[in-house]
């Protein structure tokens, strides 16, 4: 065997064996392991990068400023899945046992959320899907490990309708109005249809549904139909590159932008800036406020970017970045609650579930976390994984997002029974018993 | 030296026609099966078993299915994902039909559910295979592409297929066979492995039989095949049926064993393409090739993604992802240039070389 072959063989063997080698033994100090599934590459990277940067910067700030949560250092680790569900599942399995076990997952992908619903139940790891995922997952007894928090898609749909009816001068004025629902034709986009149909029957407005084929770059045909239907309002359930295209197309058919309302995944700088002037006046829902003036964002700027670290300064203060930061503060609050209850610093994922069920984001906590005015108050329980919650409508003025509404609460009398119904069906099909609370 | 069949005499037709006529091959397969059935579940971690091996096996099964159609019968298909979706959604409908009728829980045995789902997929496959009698090659590929889009659209559009789930997502019932629940990753892996081994053996025997020879005759020259007595209609449609059956079972396993909750997008056009690439890179017309191709397409990217952090090379996750794509692309081109007939062909050449090793003549 020549030397070249031997060297090549040895290097090859080393490379092959490296990933199979045992991971480093657990550290003696108290740590909290927070893996994060991210998509900094692929078609949805424009949404993936700010959500990843927000989480990365927040925990960097906590480690830098406080040395962790109550002295337990946070190990934040990313796993790239490119918005590909198969790879998301692989990432979950790869990271879940590292560093003494993952505490919580936040995939920012509806597909991965579905795929992980079963696995997190088996592994007893909470799945935080703030603002996305299954609408019925707010029923804590059916989905003990899933936390949608704030409001779900159905609540959001009823809230947007409430806002529209306020603009028109009351629910009765909606009788002969037409609302067009433009949605991305995948599971996520379809999620709001049943509740819109229910509302259409109940309140007497005409609902027109316009699916947009994934990934939503070609929408000409859809908007020709919308123009012909002459709706009074357009509501959009979009994500990724679909949003900017739709905003441009709406301007193309001269639809007034202030009557075009996106959901909270269709209302970020990544959607409006590329659309240019077409986006001026465009509205969207949001449950977190954009801007850099909040204490928590200032702390990040000071402790992370001030020291030359940080993942991406251009994202700081954007809608999606702030949303991710707010999500991390809720996890932070959950960890604090669990640490207090169980009297340990390095909590487990099961203890964090208790923590997440018992966070109370009120004015005092919000001030402590530095998120006053950034997000509505919530208080989830074991049965209710949504915890009340409300959201705002924001409007793009060409440079930044401004709030244009008071906090809007969903029509819970419509939403809660619908959630309960599908959650019961889920339990039955799965052959599962509801979890007990108390 | 070791791999030589000298001295192994066949004294009956049965021995002569065995799937693995050489003793060393039989030993090799036995060791492989022992490792797969006992070694991996016992010694490998949950990550390797549940997140790498199980999806690999299921996709390999789908690749075997497509290889029957494309590799053996010469009919190019881009509808693999759709046939998998048919399998997954029929399995779901079959498993929940008693619930939909007001019953308490699934009553149909699980194995039967999965096999019946394969049968439904086979029927759908035959329907979309009918155009293959008139059109060939790329035109047929486009016709099967229609199947891909149509079926995906239908499953999303018609609520009945998902029991009127608001988001078009189906949830699989627990995996219970004769009162035993397959719960841990290792148990699910064994469940999948059993299906894959039995069906791969069936496929291997099928392509060596009268039916398989008919497929190959049609592939090599359909007019000649017709003249020597193979009916194109039956031959092509059986290829579609058998292929779709395999894909349907793979789809049902994907939904029931791997994911548990699945949306139609899991069986989109990308799935069809990736399985076609498995067949092309692994080797057309080779059952082994389907497995090698599936390993190449599913395992290699994960492996590449795991290397930099493991050797302590700390470059952000996005950089790792970009590197993964680059190296993976280069390797695809490299292997296609080195061996256009697929990786299975390299294996065959390797075996030929091994017979004369260490004294080649």
Q: What is the pLDDT of residues B31-51, one digit of tens each?
A: 999 999 999 988 888 888 988
- Those residues with Cβ within 8 angstroms of residue B238's Cβ, 6 or more apart along the chain or in another chain: B211, B214, B215
- Average pLDDT for B17-21: 85
**Cα dihedral A238, A242, A247, A249 sign:** negative
Per-residue pLDDT of B51-84, as tens digits, reads 899 999 999 999 999 999 999 999 999 999 999 9
Residues of A whose CB is below 8 A from B311: 15, 18
Task: Dump strand ranges (E) for A44-99.
Answer: 73-80
Give how far A288 is from chain B: nearest CA, Å. Answer: 25
Residues of A whose CB is below 8 A from B303: 19
Q: How confident is the model at residue B98 (pLDDT cuts 50, 70, 90)?
A: low
**C-alpha closest to that of A85 among A51, A57, A62, A113:** A113
- What count of residues does chain B have? 361
Token pair, residue A187, equals 């599971």
Tokens 């709406």 identify what position?
A: A250
Minimal Cα distance from A118: which residue of B?
Answer: B260
Question: pTM for the whole thing?
Answer: 0.86
Taking the mean position of all CA atoms in its chain, how far away is CA A166? Answer: 27
Residues B302, A38: C-beta atoms closer than 8 Å: no
Token pair, residue A116, equals 């992980």
Residues A134, B167: C-beta atoms closer than 8 Å: yes
Residue B134: CB atoms within 10 A of its CB come to: 9
pLDDT at A20: 45
Nearest to B47 among A85, A86, A93 (CB): A93
Residues B316, A40: C-beta atoms closer than 8 Å: yes
Judged by phi (left if over 0) then psi (alpha if -120 to 50, else beta), residue B45 lies in: beta
Token pair, residue A86, equals 């198969």
Residues B265, A85: C-beta atoms closer than 8 Å: yes
Residues of A whose CB is below 8 A from B260: 115, 117-119
Reduced to 3 states, what is the DSSP secondary structure of residue A76? Answer: strand
For residues A76 and A87, what is the distance between their CA atoms, to the nearest angstrom?
Answer: 19
Average pLDDT of chain B, as a whole number: 88
Residues B259, A431: C-beta atoms closer than 8 Å: no
Minimal Cα distance from B309: which residue of A?
Answer: A19
- Average pLDDT for B300-305: 87
First to last CA, chain A: 70
pLDDT-flagged residues of chain A (< 70): 1-28, 438
For residues B348 and B351, what is the distance between their CA atoms, to the nearest angstrom?
Answer: 5
Token pair, residue A340, equals 């207090």
For residues A89 and A10, what is the distance between their CA atoms, to the nearest angstrom?
Answer: 32
pLDDT at B78: 92
Contact A422, A136 (CB under 8 A): yes
Nearest to A21 among B46, B266, B310 (CB): B310
- Mind giving me the DSSP string for B195-218? HHHHHHHHHHHHHTSHHHHHHHHH
| Of B74 and B263, more confident | B74
Minimal Cα distance from A95: which residue of B?
Answer: B47
For residues B28 and B37, what is the distance between their CA atoms, to the nearest angstrom?
Answer: 14
Q: Which residues pair with B50 in a beta bridge?
A: none
Determine how β-strand A401-403 pairs with β-strand B170-171.
unpaired
Domains of chain A: residue spans and CATH:
31-151+291-389+418-430 (3.40.50.2300), 153-286 (3.40.50.2300)
pLDDT at A137: 86
For residues A131 and A128, what is the distance between their CA atoms, to the nearest angstrom?
Answer: 9
Nearest to B265 among A79, A111, A426 (CB): A111
Q: How confident is the model at residue B253 (pLDDT cuts 50, 70, 90)?
A: very high
Residues A190, B166: C-beta atoms closer than 8 Å: yes
Residues of A whose CB is below 8 A from B168: 187, 190
For residues B10 and A147, what is the distance between their CA atoms, to the nearest angstrom?
Answer: 66
- Mind giving me the DSSP string for A232-266? SEEEEE--THHHHHHHHHHHHTT--GGGEEE-TTS
Residues B311, A18: C-beta atoms closer than 8 Å: yes
Contact A64, A73 (CB under 8 A): no
pLDDT at A19: 46
pLDDT at B105: 59
For residues A28 and A13, what is the distance between their CA atoms, to the nearest angstrom?
Answer: 32
- Mind giving me the DSSP string for A258-284? GGEEE-TTS-SHHHHTTTGGGGTT-EE
Taking the mean position of all CA atoms in its chain, how far away is CA A46? Answer: 14
A237: Cα within 13 Å, side-chain hemisphere: 30
Minimal Cα distance from A88: which residue of B?
Answer: B51
Residues A41, B321: C-beta atoms closer than 8 Å: yes
Give how far B344 is from chain A: nearest CA, Å. Answer: 21
Interface test with B, best of A190, A197, A311, A417 (most B CBs within 10 A): A190
- Those residues with Cβ within 8 angstroms of residue B284's Cβ, 6 or more apart along the chain or in another chain: B67, B70, B71, B341, B342
For residues B137 and B73, what is the distance between their CA atoms, to the nearest angstrom?
Answer: 12
Per-residue pLDDT of B165-214, as tens digits, reads 777 788 888 888 887 888 888 999 999 999 999 999 999 999 999 999 99
Minimal Cα distance from B269: which residue of A?
Answer: A214
Residues of A whose CB is below 8 A from B96: 429
Residues of A whose CB is below 8 A from B52: 90
Minimal Cα distance from A114: which residue of B?
Answer: B261
């Amino acid at each position: 065997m020549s030397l070249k072959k031997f060297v090549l063989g040895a290097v090859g063997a080393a490379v092959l064996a490296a990933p199979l080698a045992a991971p480093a033994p657990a550290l003696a100090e108290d740590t909290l392991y927070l893996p994060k599934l991210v998509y900094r590459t692929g078609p949805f990277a424009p949404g993936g990068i700010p959500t990843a940067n927000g989480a990365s910067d927040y925990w960097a700030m906590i480690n830098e400023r406080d040395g962790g949560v109550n002295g337990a250092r946070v190990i934040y680790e990313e796993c790239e899945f490119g918005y590909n569900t198969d790879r998301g599942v692989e990432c979950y399995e790869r990271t879940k046992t590292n560093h003494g076990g993952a505490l919580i997952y936040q995939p920012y992908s509806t597909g991965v959320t579905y795929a992980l619903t079963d696995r997190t139940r088996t592994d007893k790891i909470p799945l935080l899907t703030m603002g996305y995922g299954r609408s019925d997952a707010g029923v804590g007894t059916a989905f003990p490990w899933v936390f949608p928090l704030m409001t779900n898609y159905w609540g959001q749909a009823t809230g947007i309708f409430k806002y529209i009816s306020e603009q028109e001068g009351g629910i009765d004025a909606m009788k002969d109005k037409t609302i067009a629902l433009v949605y991305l034709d995948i599971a996520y986009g379809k999620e709001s249809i049943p509740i819109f149909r229910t509302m259409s029957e109940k309140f007497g407005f005409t609902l027109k549904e316009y699916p947009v084929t994934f990934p939503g770059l070609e929408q000409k045909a859809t908007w020709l139909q919308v123009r012909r239907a002459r709706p009074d309002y357009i509501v959009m359930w979009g994500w990724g590159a679909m949003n900017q295209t739709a905003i441009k197309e709406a301007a193309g058919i001269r639809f007034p932008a202030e009557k075009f309302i996106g959901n909270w995944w269709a209302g970020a700088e990544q959607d409006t800036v590329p659309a240019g002037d077409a986006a001026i006046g465009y509205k969207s829902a949001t449950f977190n406020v954009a801007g850099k003036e909040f204490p928590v964002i200032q702390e990040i700027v000071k402790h992370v970017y001030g020291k030359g670290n940080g993942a991406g300064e251009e994202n700081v203060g954007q809608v999606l970045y702030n949303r991710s930061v707010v999500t991390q503060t809720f996890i932070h609050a959950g960890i604090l609650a669990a640490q207090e209850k169980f009297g340990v610093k390095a909590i487990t994922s099961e203890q964090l579930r208790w923590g997440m069920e018992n966070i109370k984001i009120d004015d005092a906590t919000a001030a402590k976390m530095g998120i006053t005015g950034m997000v509505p108050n919530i208080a989830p329980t074991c049965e209710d994984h949504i915890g009340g919650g409300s959201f705002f409508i924001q409007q793009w003025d060409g440079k930044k997002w401004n709030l244009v509404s008071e906090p809007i609460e969903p029509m819970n009398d419509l939403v809660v029974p619908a959630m309960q119904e599908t959650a019961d069906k889920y339990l039955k099909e799965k052959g599962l018993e509801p979890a007990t609370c108390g | 030296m070791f791999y030589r069949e000298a001295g192994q005499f066949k004294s009956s037709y049965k021995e002569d026609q065995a799937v693995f006529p050489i003793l060393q091959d039989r030993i090799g397969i036995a060791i492989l099966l022992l490792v797969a059935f006992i070694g991996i579940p016992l010694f490998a971690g949950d990550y390797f078993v549940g997140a790498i091996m199980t999806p690999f096996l299921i996709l390999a099964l789908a690749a075997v299915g497509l290889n029957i159609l494309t590799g053996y019968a010469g009919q190019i298909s881009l509808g693999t994902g759709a046939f998998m979706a048919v399998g997954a959604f029929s399995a779901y409908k079959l498993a929940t039909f008693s619930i939909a009728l007001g019953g308490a829980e699934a009553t149909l045995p699980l194995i039967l559910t999965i096999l019946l789902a394969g049968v439904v997929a086979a029927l759908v496959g035959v329907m979309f295979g009918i155009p293959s009698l008139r059109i060939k090659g790329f035109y047929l590929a486009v016709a099967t592409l229609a199947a891909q889009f149509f079926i995906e659209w239908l499953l999303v559009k018609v609520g009945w297929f998902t029991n009127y789930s608001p988001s078009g997502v189906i949830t699989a019932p627990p995996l219970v066979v004769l009162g035993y629940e397959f719960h841990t990753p290792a148990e699910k892996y064994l469940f999948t492995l059993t299906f894959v081994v039995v069906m791969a053996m069936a496929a291997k025997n099928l392509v060596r039989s009268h039916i398989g020879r008919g497929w190959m005759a049609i592939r090599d020259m359909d007019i000649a095949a017709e003249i020597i007595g193979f009916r194109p209609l039956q031959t092509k449609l059986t290829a579609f049926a058998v292929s779709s059956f395999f894909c349907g079972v793979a789809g049902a396993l994907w939904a029931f064993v791997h994911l548990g909750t699945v949306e139609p997008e899991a069986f989109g056009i990308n799935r069809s393409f990736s399985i076609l690439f498995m067949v092309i890179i692994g080797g057309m017309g080779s059952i082994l090739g389907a497995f090698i191709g599936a390993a190449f397409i599913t395992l290699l990217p994960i492996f590449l993604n795991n290397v930099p952090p493991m050797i302590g090379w700390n470059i952000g996750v996005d950089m790792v992802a970009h590197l993964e794509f680059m190296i993976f692309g280069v390797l695809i081109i490299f292997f296609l240039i080195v061996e256009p007939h697929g990786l299975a062909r390299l294996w065959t050449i390797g075996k030929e070389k091994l017979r004369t090793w260490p004294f080649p003549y």
